[in-house]
């Protein structure tokens, strides 16, 4: 038993180190939550809160690992968002069509599960969120004025871009009580943030432009709790429920003049409810409902349209990105065609978190996609291991509204800003089942 535990610990530590050596870049699909975690979830549109079949399932519902044998999963996704904006008659933001140059990111994930006895299991999992990674070129901007040569950039401060990384590490325990399974997952969260090219907003900052832009990378640490339950109504029909608390984070001190309450940027709470039905022994259909509470994080949820009206950036109650709570609906299907092949497909729809009144500031983070069309497969390479693949296409969505900021502050006629984004994602994973 001791040797077995030692091997498990070594495997877990090695996986964490391997996964942690890669950055967890932003993925703007459900705002800045991913539409799923792990290759199987990617393929079924992120559904599966009531259908736990692999180690990464504990990222969506910690209760499910009592149905998973001892298993190791590694995965990586290539995420490709194409985003930008069109400015018409703008008086501050650069006019015309401007696209972000940074379009490929790699997102790793890791999970390990191990049964304790016939009714309980433990596991560890690592995954990531994000959604604000952009890199706009230092474009010409006739609106900037100033000395000759005139200032340049989307917001008159040269190259403009943001880099947000959120990584989560959970230790999971689950136990089964007849048809009911319950799981808990204390979670450590780590975030890294940097923004450049928004120094022109200094007049709207409580710190007069200090700790607002181009301060380099800053880190925040914190955590919260995830928990879930899964109930087998019949042998073929299951219900699932899970949620996470707000993740309370330390402040981004280098950006205390940007984020509300001197650098606060916690991670929002979310809930998921769903069902799974085995239409046949080999075909499972899934439906999930999810809600993300972006408005509960003031630095994200407060409107940016109050620029120029106290409180200022960095103040308590100061401006944010204006993101509101969103509802998400997911459907997925998995067909276990034979011993070697499993085929998957899914679709997810989420409301847009960005309101038209807040489009100007959200040039920084245009997370506006709504539709997710997904699919994938698993192939058993050996009786104990399989490779997993998924692909996703998120069609173009745009949101437009009046320019805010400079035009209002200087009592000029405001133009319009239209944000747009479409995405592709491809993921590859490996699953190893011990003892098979």
- 386: domain CATH number is 2.40.160.60
Q: Is the pLDDT of residue 157 over 50?
A: yes
User: How confident is the model at residue 29, as a pLDDT?
Assistant: 80
Give residue-wise pLDDT tens across range 245-301.
999 999 999 999 999 999 999 999 999 999 999 999 999 999 999 999 999 999 999
Q: Is the pLDDT of residue 24 over 80?
A: no
User: How confident is the model at residue 147, as a pLDDT?
Assistant: 62
Give residue-wise pLDDT tens across range 95-115.
999 999 888 888 899 999 999
- Please state, rounded to an integer, the average pLDDT across all residues of the chain: 88
Place of tokens 């109050």: 306
The candidate with the shortest Cα–Cα distance to 289, out of 324, 247, 331, is 331
- Greatest C-alpha distance within the chain: 76
3-state secondary structure the chain: CHHHHHHHHHHHHHHHHHHHCCCCCCCCCECCECCCCCHHHHHCCCCCCCCCCCHHHHHCCHHHHHHCCCEEEEEEEEEEEEEEEEEECCCCCCCEEEECCCCCEEEEEEEEEEEEECCEEEEEEEEEECCCCEEECCCCCCCCCCCCCCCCCCCCCCCEEEEEEEEEEEEEEEEEECCEEEEEEEEEEEEEEEEECCHHHHHHECCCCCCCCCCCCEEEEEEEEEEEEEEECCCCEEEEEEEECCEEECCCHHHCCCCHHHHCCCECCEEEEEEEEEEECCEEEEEEEEEECHHHCHHHHCCCCCCCCCCCECCCCCCCCCECCEEEEEEEEEECCCCCEEEEEEEEEECCCECHHHCCHHHCCCCCCCEEEEEEEEEEEECCEEEEEEEEEEEEEEEEEECCCHHHHCCCCCCEEEEEEEEEEEEEEEEEECCC
Q: Is the pLDDT of residue 22 over 50?
A: no
Give residue-wise pLDDT tens across range 342-371.
999 999 999 999 988 889 999 998 888 999
User: How confident is the model at residue 10, as a pLDDT?
Assistant: 39
User: How confident is the model at residue 3, as a pLDDT?
Assistant: 39
Mean pLDDT over residues 400-411, rounded? 68
What is the distance between the terminal CA atoms of the chain, rounded to a whole angstrom? 18
Q: Is the pLDDT of residue 64 over 50?
A: yes
Q: What pLDDT band is residue 31 in, cutting at 50, 70 and 90?
A: confident
Q: What pLDDT band is residue 120 in, cutting at 50, 70 and 90?
A: very high
Q: Is the pLDDT of residue 172 over 60?
A: yes
Q: What pLDDT band is residue 193 in, cutting at 50, 70 and 90?
A: very high
- Token couple for 146: 């100033």
Which domain range does residue 141 map to? 2-433
Give residue-wise pLDDT tens across range 382-398.
999 999 999 999 999 99
- Are 257 and 204 within 8 A, CB to CB? no
Q: What pLDDT band is residue 409 in, cutting at 50, 70 and 90?
A: low
240 or 64: which leads in pLDDT: 240
Give residue-wise pLDDT tens across range 293-348.
999 999 999 988 766 678 889 999 888 999 999 999 999 999 999 999 999 999 99
Total count of domains within the chain: 1
Q: Is the pLDDT of residue 408 over 70?
A: no
**Burial tier of 303 (Cβ tally within 10 Å: 0-12, 13-18, 19+):** middle
User: How confident is the model at residue 18, as a pLDDT?
Assistant: 37
């Amino acid at each position: 038993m001791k040797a077995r535990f030692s091997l498990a610990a070594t495997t877990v530590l090695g996986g964490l180190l391997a996964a942690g050596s890669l950055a967890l870049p932003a993925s703007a699909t459900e705002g800045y939550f991913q539409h799923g975690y792990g290759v199987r979830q990617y393929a079924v549109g992120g559904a599966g809160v009531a259908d736990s079949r692999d180690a990464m399932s504990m990222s969506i519902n910690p209760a499910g690992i009592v149905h998973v044998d001892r298993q190791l999963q590694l995965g990586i996704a290539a995420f490709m968002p194409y985003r930008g904006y069109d400015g018409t008659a703008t008086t501050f933001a650069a006019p015309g069509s401007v696209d972000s140059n940074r379009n490929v990111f790699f997102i790793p994930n890791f999970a390990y599960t191990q049964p304790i006895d016939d009714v309980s299991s433990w596991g560890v999992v690592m995954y990531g969120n994000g959604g604000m990674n952009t890199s706009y070129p230092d474009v010409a901007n006739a609106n900037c004025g100033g000395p000759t040569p005139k200032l340049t950039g989307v917001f008159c401060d040269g190259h403009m871009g943001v880099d947000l990384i959120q990584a989560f590490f959970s230790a999971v325990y689950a136990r089964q009580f007849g048809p009911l399974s319950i799981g808990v997952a204390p979670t450590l969260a780590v975030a890294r943030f940097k923004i450049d090219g928004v120094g022109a907003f200094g007049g709207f900052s409580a710190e007069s432009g200090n700790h607002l832009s181009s301060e380099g990378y800053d880190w925040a640490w914190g955590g919260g709790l995830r928990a879930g339950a899964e109930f087998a109504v019949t042998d073929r029909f299951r219900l699932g429920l899970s949620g996470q608390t707000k993740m309370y984070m330390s402040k981004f001190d280098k950006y205390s003049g940007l984020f509300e309450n001197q650098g606060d940027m916690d991670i929002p709470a979310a809930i998921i409810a769903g069902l799974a039905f085995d239409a046949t022994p080999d075909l499972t259909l899934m439906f999930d409902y999810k809600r993300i509470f972006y408005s509960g994080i003031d630095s994200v949820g407060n409107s940016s349209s109050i620029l120029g009206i106290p409180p200022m950036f960095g103040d308590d109650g100061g401006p944010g990105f204006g993101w509101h709570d969103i509802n998400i609906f997911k459907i997925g299907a998995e067909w276990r065609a034979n011993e070697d092949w499993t085929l998957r497909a899914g679709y997810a729809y989420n409301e847009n978190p960005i309101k038209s009144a807040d489009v100007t500031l959200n040039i920084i983070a245009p997370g506006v996609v709504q539709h997710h069309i997904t699919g994938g497969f698993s192939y058993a390479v050996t009786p104990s291991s399989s490779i997993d693949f998924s692909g996703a296409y998120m069609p173009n969505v745009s949101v437009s509204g009046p320019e805010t900021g400079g035009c209002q502050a200087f009592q000029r006629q405001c133009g319009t800003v239209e944000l747009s984004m479409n995405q592709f994602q491809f993921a590859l994973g490996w699953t190893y089942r011990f003892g098979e």
